[in-house]
Amino acid sequence: MDLSLSSEEIETRDWVRNFVRREIMPLEPEALRRERAHQPGVTADEFKELRDKARRFGFWGIQTPEEYGGMNLSAVLAALIEVELGRSFVPFRFGGSADNILFHANDSQRQEYLLPTIEGERISCFAITEPGAGSDATAIRTTARKDGSDWIINGEKTFITGGNEADFTMVFAITDPDKGVNGGVTCFLADREMGWKSEYIDTMGEWGPAALVFDEVRVPERNILGELGQGFALAMQWIGRGRYLLPARAVGACERLMEMAMEHARNRVTFGEPIANRQAIQWMIADSAVEVEALRWLVLSAAWQVDQGMDSRHAQSMAKLFGGVKANEIVDRMLQIHGGMGYTRELPLERWYRELRLLRIYEGTDEIQRRTIARNLLKGYASVRGVLG
């Protein structure tokens, strides 16, 4: 068994590592200052400048197929990149990508939605969650009724990431109530100009998702993404598109938090000795190091299974669950090591604390991941012996 990285993987990872260190981390103090003033930490224009800079070095469309100008990197490499990006709380992403389900676009949708989204000229959002339908997405109530060659959408979506900035949404609505999720849900590409409204939702994190309101919004038939009635399968494809990337980002955050806490522990003296000499502090560091390492390999194992074309859903759920739970325990310990300073807004620990909390909720809560994992095992779809058998 060879667990080493190829030279291409090392080179790519190191380029991103340097980019994060040179271009992104220096933005952190100003980002914190702006966020404290209730402004975006980094503006859209500043992000664009960073993305364009990375593009000049070929970093564009990390997992986008080459025919669309992307790098089409492996899942393992994408996970390694995500770890590096996770080392900063500045929410930078390389440009050149689009939601996986947008690649189901037909020819005219490709010109109107997919290509401009890849180029960063248009912004999409994915809208399935509703006030009465979160973990149970089969409970959605938003409807679309046929009117000539249009569909009229009515309903409300909630917690939609990017919903305030997006100029179009991929919205899921019931087109056949008798069939429901078994052939009666359709995905529509709905432009903001078609009439939907968004409303900012204030959360404990620094990104505000949106509630989207559809009141008699008219969408032409040609804006159906994929097949009529086949939207639920598309939604599941979107949700499962790269679950391993979320805990990958948490690995980077935990590494950085640990480095900060170890530095603080070496320098902070109490009762005549650095706190790093105390067993209570050492145990927090040791437990966290073991858990970060375990998480790293859960993530890479899931990514490797994706690259092998295996059914990686079980592995991805395990990585997502462990990542959410452990990242939250680790940020809490690292904040504890910083004492009162950890609780201030002068340092980014409390910011990470608030942000990492989301990992246990979105794209499948802890409880839903546990449900999936247990069901896979109990039904015999997965083995307690793991992927090697």
The residues that are catalytic are 363
Which residue in the set 127, 173, 248, 251 belongs to the binding site for ligand FAD (CB under 6 A)? 127
Q: Does 153 bind ligand FAD (CB under 6 A)?
A: no
* DSSP structural state of residue 6: P
Rounded CA-CA distance 362/161 in Å is: 10
Torsion of CA 215, 216, 221, 226, to 10 degrees: 30
List all residues 6 or more positions away from 274 whose beta carbon is below 8 Å from its beta carbon.
265, 266, 267, 268
Angle between helices 313-337 and 245-267 (to 10 degrees): 20
Among 115, 289, 325, 358, binds ligand FAD (CB under 6 A): 358
By CB under 6 A, residue 233 contacts ligand FAD: no
Q: Using CB under 6 A, pick the residue from 236, 368, 376, 387 that binds ligand FAD.
A: 368
For residues 113 and 159, which CB has a smaller minimum distance to ligand FAD in the complex? 159
Site membership for ligand FAD, residue 203 (CB under 6 A): yes
Point out the residue whose Cβ comes nearest to ligand FAD: 134
Among 100, 161, 230, 237, binds ligand FAD (CB under 6 A): 161
- Is position 362 an interface residue for ligand FAD (rule: CB under 6 A)? yes
> Which residue lies nearer to ligand FAD by CB, 25 or 239?
239
Q: Pick the closer one to ligand FAD by CB: 140 or 335.
A: 140
Specify the residue, 134 or 180, whose C-beta has the smaller distance to ligand FAD.
Answer: 134
Identify the residue among 63, 117, 124, 129 touching ligand FAD (CB under 6 A).
129
Picking from 245, 249, 228, 223, the residue whose alpha carbon sits closest to that of residue 102 is: 223
User: Which residues inside 54-83 make contact with ligand FAD, applying CB under 6 A?
Assistant: none
Q: Which two tokens stand for residue 2?
A: 């060879």
Please report whether residue 160 would count as binding ligand FAD according to CB under 6 A.
Answer: yes
Phi, psi of 86 (to 5 degrees): -70, -15
Q: Applying CB under 6 A, which part among 18-26, 153-161, 249-257, 329-337 lies near ligand FAD?
A: 153-161
- Residue 25: which H helix or E strand, with range? none
DSSP assignment string, 144-208: EEEETTEEEEEEEEEEETTTTT-SEEEEEEES-TTTTTTT-EEEEEEEGGGT-EEEE---SSSS-
Stretch that binds ligand FAD, among 156-164, 252-260, 271-279, 296-304 (CB under 6 A): 156-164
Which run of H or E residues covers position 353? helix 349-357
Determine the angle formed by the axes of helices 75-85 and 245-267, rounding to 10 degrees.
Answer: 40
Stretch that binds ligand FAD, among 59-67, 71-79, 128-136, 304-312 (CB under 6 A): 128-136
The dihedral built from the CA positions of residue 28, 30, 36 and 40, taken in this order, carries a sign that is negative
Phi, psi of 279 (to 5 degrees): -60, -35
Asked if 134 interacts with ligand FAD (CB under 6 A), we say yes
Contact between 209 and ligand FAD by CB under 6 A: the answer reads yes
- Burial class, 268, CB count within 10 angstroms (exposed 0-12 / middle 13-18 / buried 19+): middle
Contact status: 371 vs ligand FAD (CB under 6 A): yes
Site map (CB under 6 A) of ligand FAD, residues 83-122, x = contact: ----------------------------------------
Q: Shortest gap between Cβ of 160 and ligand FAD (angstroms)?
A: 5
- Among 111, 135, 138, 182, which residue sits at the site for ligand FAD (rule: CB under 6 A)? 135
Q: Is 372 in the site for ligand FAD (CB under 6 A)?
A: no
Separate counts of helices (H) and strands (E) for the chain: 12, 10
At a CB cut-off of 8 Å and minimum separation 6, what does 214 contact?
A: 142, 153, 154, 155, 156, 157, 171, 173, 190, 195, 196
**Minimum CB distance to ligand FAD, residue 207 (Å):** 7
Q: Which residues bind ligand FAD (CB under 6 A)?
A: 126-129, 134-135, 159-161, 203, 209, 358, 361-363, 365, 367-368, 371
